[in-house]
A and B are shown apart, each in its own frame.
Chain A
Amino acid sequence: MIRLQDITKIYPMGNRELTVLWGITLNIEKGESVAIMGPSGSGKTTLLNLVGCLDTPTSGSYYLENSEVSRLSSGELAKIRGQKIGFVFQTFNLLPRLSALANVELGMRYCGGGDHHQALEALASVGLSDRANHRPSELSGGEQQRVAIARALVKSPPLILADEPTGNLDSRAGEEVISILTSLRSEQGVTLVMVTHDNNVAHHCQRIIHIKDGQVVMEESV
């Protein structure tokens, strides 16, 4: 599913350069769930952005479903994001002026579109059918994150990426969100990659990859 070969990422910082990733090689199988852990500034979010085609590596190769995507144009990357990748963010990133349903519908817009019913189904699958017409500000943090998950899964992407999905939630809501995400994997065969600080959350995944200073320092299977 995901094959990273010797990926480096260097950001220009004024006239110096900041190397965030120092040659990461990583394989993630289809249907696998992987947690990426590491201290702040270790490069785990940068890695997730690369995997999510939001960014391109400075060097190295990235194969997504066996096709090289590390040298694609921004337009081609956008298309891949639209069709293959669902994002879940720490801060939910819902559009505040849209209803939950409209936010979910937004998830289908850039992959050929879909209808109302698909969006309602996605909301139902995260247990929020009765909240369809509420705005994000009228929902709890856990509910907002579930709307965000519905938005990510509504287009049935093969890959879901979550960046600290429980970071802004209390533990009960966090549990709920994690169980939804992991059940997606077990029920629909979605590949799940999440970045987290939380050991408990990470242990819901099949594999944990520890990153430090831009390098993979340890992998453990759960």
Chain B
Amino acid sequence: MKKWLDPLATAWLGISTHKLRSSLTILGIVIGIASVITLMSIGKGATAQILSNIQSMGANLITISGGASSGYGGVRSAGGSTQTLTMEDAEAIAEQVSNVSAVAPSSSSNLQLVVGSNNTNSQVTGTTPEYMSVNNLKLASGAFFSEQEYERGAKVAVLGSSVAETLFGSANPIGQQMRMGTIIVTVTGVLESKGAGFNSPDDAVYIPLTALQQTVAQPRTAQGDRIVSSITLTVSDQAQTQNVIDAITNLLRTRHRLGVGVADDFNIMSVEELVSTLSTVTGTLTLLLGAIAGISLLVGGIGVMNIMLVSVIERRREIGILKALGATERDIWGQFLIEAAFLTFSGGIIGIIVGWGVALVIDLTGLMTTVVSADIVVLAVSVSVGIGLFFGFYPAWQASRLNPIEALRSE
């Protein structure tokens, strides 16, 4: 047998002699590591799901809304309460800011929709044809309204999937008419369901802004500009997102005649920014979950220490024999330390398998998405070995310090 294997073989003997005790000790670590892996995979899965939800809106999306902005942390006056954005702003952005691929101004109104005996209240968004591509909307059937329909103010509507189902049930809504506020509109398209989520389009109804103005009067500014509630746009080069935001801010401040020191009267939010903010939040949450699971790992570690202390007392005679045979304090210390690390390491490996399995089962049930990543696994293994070394240190030290004569005399 190779000499460097000797300590490992001895450690294995120490562990295999007390199989039940060692298994229970390992079980403590298994539970700790498995819960760390499972909980962190749930955290990571949730993060991934939230981010993909948001990114399905379009990762390069920028939304400008009216109203005072006071940045993070401040008290914000109700968004959109000050109507400051106009159609003319949207046109100026499209013409003057580079790296912008499409701009869609929109105004929303809560209107009653009636089809036969079914009726519902829905957020009706009047916008331009670009809105569909800007917001990454997908049609399940029919078509979004065209430039021509927009120009002539055609009374056509595209329904979110939930709205379509509420109003038309299983019938095909395409070509059907419905009453919207004071006008009658024809349904030309139904959107694909995106699932419940942030700002889900499932509950929305889209019509040409020119048509919305026929039932809801569009307010104008003192200068006669047509007010819209928000402007959405896409950035052609995502790397330029911040530059685009800066350019729009400058343009709008000039157009709105805001002097130096006056706060913006609009709010710019990019999905990219939202994603990074949410990533930070969910990252913290994942860590929190990991920390909670870490407590059970700590308890497992204390279990290892407990067993090692008992083991040192029980094996005093063996330690005495080894010392008489020439084992130095370092030899004994190393042997017990390796034993402790071996316990926690094997607990760690089994814990990873169990944790991974549980995460997989959770994922398969469809209740939650879980993601087990390599960094969690590496973390778990190193933490488990670290726990063995940390909690094995004191018992091993005690073992090494035993007086060989007294140790030999003990029963």
Contact = CB atoms under 8 A, between A and B. Distances in A.
Interface string A51-92: 010110000000000000000001100111111000101000
7 smallest A-B Cβ distances: which pairs? A82-B326, A110-B326, A78-B328, A81-B326, A113-B3, A75-B328, A93-B321
Contacts of A110: 322, 325-328, 331
A79 B330 contact: no
A49 B320 CA distance: 12
B55 to A, nearest CB: 60
Contact of B325 (A75, A81, A98): A81
Interface of A: 49, 52, 54-55, 74-75, 78-83, 87, 89, 93-95, 97-98, 106-107, 109-111, 113, 116, 151
Interface residues of B, number: 22
A203 to B, nearest CB: 27
Interface of B: 1, 3, 6, 13, 17, 317-318, 320-331, 404-405, 408
Contacts of A87: 324-325
B19 to A, nearest CB: 12
Contacts of B6: 109, 113
A83 B162 CA distance: 85
Contact of A95 (B318, B324, B329, B331): B318
Contacts of B317: 93
A54 B324 contact: yes
A167 to B, nearest CB: 14
Given A87-B324, A93-B408, A95-B318, A75 B330 contact: yes
B325 A79 contact: no
Nearest to A110: B326
20 contacts: A54-B324, A75-B328, A75-B329, A78-B328, A78-B331, A79-B328, A80-B326, A81-B323, A82-B326, A83-B326, A87-B324, A93-B408, A95-B318, A106-B322, A109-B6, A109-B325, A110-B326, A110-B328, A110-B331, A111-B326
A78 B321 contact: no
A107 B325 contact: yes
Contacts of A82: 325-327
B327 A98 contact: no
B405 A49 contact: yes
